[in-house]
Chains A and B, each alone.
Chain A
Amino acid sequence: MAATRSVAAAEAPGGEPLRPEGPRLDLAAALDLAARIAVPGTRIDLAGVQEFTGGGAATLVVLARERGARFSGAGRDLCRYLEELPLEELAAAHALAPDAEEEEPLPATAAPTDGPLSGALATTRWFVGLGLEFVYWVAVAPWRGARLRLGKAVTELNRIGVEAIPIVALIAALMGVILALNAAGQLRIYGAEKYTANLVGIALTRELAPVITAILVAGRSGSAIAAELATMKVSDEIDALEVMGINPRAFLLVPKLLAITIGMPVLVVLASLVGIGGGFMVAVFGLALPFDVYWEQTLQALHVRDLVLGALKALCFGALIGLTGCTYGMRVTGGATGVGRVTTAAVVVSYVLVIVANALFTLLFFLAGW
């Protein structure tokens, strides 16, 4: 962490004391010094310290005690300050993770900058760049010691996924009912009412459940992501994170993207099942189809493959919605009006992307014979 500083005072083996690199003992210097304590009993010579900060002194003392180092040569002010620290409480209160992390460079896809490009092109670049960076943070960075913020992702998953279950279930059930009524009305002409089950099952799992769920999630969460990030951006919170040396994309965006890409397939499978249930209610209670006939027809028509394909679509839609919300939120300009504008844009663009992607998927599956 103090790698930005040049290493001056080298640590020598033969009982030679450690010294801070500069005259100023601040947090960075303290952490750097503590990291160089190799063996218990190491002596730290503080004679060169002319200035110190409270955080630096306290951190050094706590970490040095932890590693069995001793001090010498501290000036009068520093001594007095150290004496006043509640050392016993500090030492007792924590257990320390001993190793400073190894930091890995970011992929070159990062750092989207505003160029003189047209707005749409720049937005697309941001969108694609963020997508690649998301993959990096989820699939590559954790193996290199970077943190994947799973706790935050779980919170987001609750907001995006769990809280959406009632509305998704309601809409899916009604879709099942509507489909079954329409299908039965047509199929009755040919005396093929029992095929209602096939139609409801296939149409829901492969097409309607993914698309309807995506539209609900885009309206609920895509908009929320865009609005939240845009508000943070216009109130300088994003800039503040950057200035603190925290990557706002890893800190804020990746947990949201992770949650929405995990949440969508689960919601879609749920929607499919609930929708089939809705169709079943119509068939059994409205059309007097026997339960076992409907069940058998459904099983006959529906394969695991259909559910998997539906979930695959959902995964893709989730990523599209999340990336759209993040991209528009992060690229907001112009205060409160801007927040409203990008929120609308995020939802509308999400709808278009989802519908277009769905058409492409269906075409692909049709051509592939799946």
Chain B
Amino acid sequence: MTAGAETVIHVRGLAAGYGSRQVLTGVDLAVRRGEILTIMGPSGCGKTTLLKLLIGLERPVAGTIHLLGEAIGALDEDRLARFRRRIGMCFQFGALLNSLTVGENLALPLRELRVVPESVIAMIVGARLAQVGLHGSAENLPNELSGGMRKRAGLARALVLDPELLFFDEPTSGLDPVTAAGLDRTILDVRRRGGTTMVVVTHDLASAFTISDRIVVLIDGAIRAEGSPREIEQCRDPAVAAFVGRRAAAAATGGDARFVAAHFDGVRGAQ
């Protein structure tokens, strides 16, 4: 079990659809331990469906998904529930339970295990909130937080069970560039500390090129290109180039906001 070599996510021949509409066709994926894989693509290309299939919220029409060696399609509800303690998911808008405080939201998965002492729970919750830069927000209700803070809290909640796999749905969408860059850094920091494998679904090009080891471009429900950020950037496929080209154009005009953000570290510290 040496880090980096082992394949922890293995998807073969995945197809999905709603009724007669085909959303995904013949998707193959392999993610190694400790890797950050980004799934990119225009809206409606099937990114979110792919993510939901990966975490077992939806069932595929065809194909198999292995996470950490388990075929998740074959798990019954109870085994799936237990298996899910090994994975974490960050939803687009945080998906915190609105009736609970941020601290209670983080404590929830730990309390549900019913064996972790309250004092340890308090410590883990405090540490995770600090890790995402939200110390002092434990007593707040989710609707008292900004969108970016909610996403961070969602990430903290996904981290409390020390997941081996972490999934993100649009972690930076709807955030200003500076906050988005901060979240990217948090994601990289989580990987550096825990060696966590991550799958990120996004259409934020700047974010994808910052955090990814590997990028998969999904167009019309099929994988159109796959490779390192540099390879994707230089991809000749017209559909991929058209999608990625927007980033090149932005960079050429000096409009890449993330570049600005990276050079004004002090601004981020003030948030």
Chain A residues in contact with chain B, CB under 8 A? Answer: 1, 3-4, 22-24, 26-28, 31, 35, 51, 53-56, 58-59, 62-63, 86, 89-90, 93-94, 96-97, 100-101, 103-106, 110-111, 113, 116, 147, 232, 235-237, 239-247
A110 pairs with B162, CB closer than 8 A: no
Could you say which of A26, A55, A110 contacts B127, with CB atoms under 8 Å apart? A55
| Inter-chain residue pair count (beta carbon < 8 A) | 144
Report the Cα distance A87→B1, complex, angstroms: 32
Is A94 touching B117 in the complex (CB atoms < 8 A)? yes
**B162 contact from A26, A62, A106, A237, Cβ within 8 A:** A26
Complex alpha-carbon distance, A239 and B157, angstroms: 14
- Which residues from chain B contact A56 at a C-beta distance below 8 Å? 162
Shortest Cβ distance from residue A250 to the other chain B in the assembled complex, whole angstroms: 10
| Nearest residue, chain B, Cβ from A50 | B3
Pick the contact of B124 from A58, A104, A240 — CB < 8 Å?
A: A58
Q: Which residue of B70, B95, B114 contacts A236 across the interface (Cβ within 8 Å)? A: B95
A96–chain B nearest beta-carbon distance, Å: 5
Q: Interface segment, B37-45, B75-83, B209-217, B229-237?
A: B75-83
**Counting CB contacts under 8 A, is B87 at the interface?**
yes
Q: Is B59 an interface residue, CB under 8 A from the partner?
A: yes
Cβ contact within 8 Å between A31 and B1: no
Asked if B91 and A245 make an inter-chain contact with CB atoms under 8 angstroms apart, the answer reads: no
B123 lies within 8 A of A90 (CB): yes
B57 interface residue, CB < 8 Å from A?
A: yes
Q: Restricting to B182-212, which residues have a CB under 8 Å from any CB of A?
A: 193-195
B118 at the interface (CB under 8 A from A): yes
Contact string against A for B residues 78-112, beta-carbon threshold 8 Å, 1 for contact and 0 otherwise: 11011111111101110111100000000011001
From known contacts A3-B82, A51-B194, A245-B81, infer whether A240 and B95 are also in contact, taking CB-CB under 8 Å.
Answer: yes
Nearest CB in chain B to that of A22: its residue: B1
Whether A240 touches B91, Cβ cut-off 8 Å, given contacts A55-B124, A106-B76, is yes
A53 touches B162 (CB 8 A): yes
The answer, yes or no, to whether B252 is at the interface (CB within 8 Å) is no
Contact: B19 with A116, CB < 8 Å? Answer: yes
Distance of B134 from chain A, by nearest CB (Å): 16
- Distance, CA A104 to CA B78, complexed state (A): 8
Q: Could you list some 15 contacts between A and B, CB below 8 A?
A: A4-B79, A22-B1, A28-B161, A53-B162, A55-B161, A55-B162, A56-B162, A59-B124, A86-B123, A93-B118, A111-B77, A243-B84, A244-B85, A245-B112, A246-B109
Are the C-beta atoms of A235 and B95 separated by less than 8 Å?
yes
How far, in whole Å, are A21 and B85 apart by their CA atoms in the complex? 17
A1, A53, A232, A243: which has the most chain B beta carbons within 10 Å?
Answer: A243
Does B270 sit at the interface, judged by CB under 8 A? Answer: no
Q: Separation in Å of the A159 CB from the closest CB of chain B?
A: 12
* Residues of B with C-beta under 8 A to A232: 97-98
CA distance A1 to B82 in the complex (A): 7
Tell me the minimal C-beta distance from B107 to chain A in angstroms: 11
Distance in Å: Cβ of B113 to nearest Cβ of chain A: 6
| Bound Cα distance A274, B185 (Å) | 64
Report the separation of the CA atoms of residues A97 and B160 in the bound assembly, to the nearest whole angstrom: 20
Closest 3 pairs (CB-CB, A-B):
A26-B162, A236-B95, A93-B119
Q: Are B118 and A239 in contact (CB under 8 A)?
A: no
Partner of B109, one of A59, A96, A245: A245
Which chain A positions have C-beta within 8 A of B124?
27, 54-55, 58-59
